[in-house]
Amino acid sequence: MRRRDKSADQLRINFERMLAHALEGRGVRTHTGLDLPTRTALRVIARAYPDVAEELVEAARETFAGQLDGTNSARRRAELDRKLEEAAERLNGSRADEVKDEFA
């Protein structure tokens, strides 16, 4: 059974908690409801510890805002669609070449 998605308030709490962990150089948990881009931004902060630039924190906050407003998932969907189109073009192109070779 799938768990219910976390509310925006729960996500904000989890983000702030994981940001605090990252600022202490600690790891970021995976089962927080935070998406991959947000967790990645937090991991960058943790790796930069103890010299965390404010720009990294701001970037993590912007990335998290993208999770909340759907920007991150829209970007991911667009990337997947692009990859599927490229794969379909390669497949169709290779089949066309096979047909040409067959009748050559």
Residue range 24-72, pLDDT digits in tens:
999 999 899 999 999 999 999 999 999 999 999 999 999 999 999 999 9
For residue 92, the model assigns a pLDDT of 85
Distance CA 36, CA 76 (A): 10
What mean pLDDT do residues 8-12 have? Answer: 97
Whole-structure pTM value = 0.78
- Average pLDDT, rounded, for the chain: 90
Residue of 29, 45, 39, 43 whose CA lies nearest to 64: 39
For residue 93, the model assigns a pLDDT of 76
Distance CA 89, CA 87 (A): 5
Q: What is the largest CA-CA distance in the chain?
A: 67
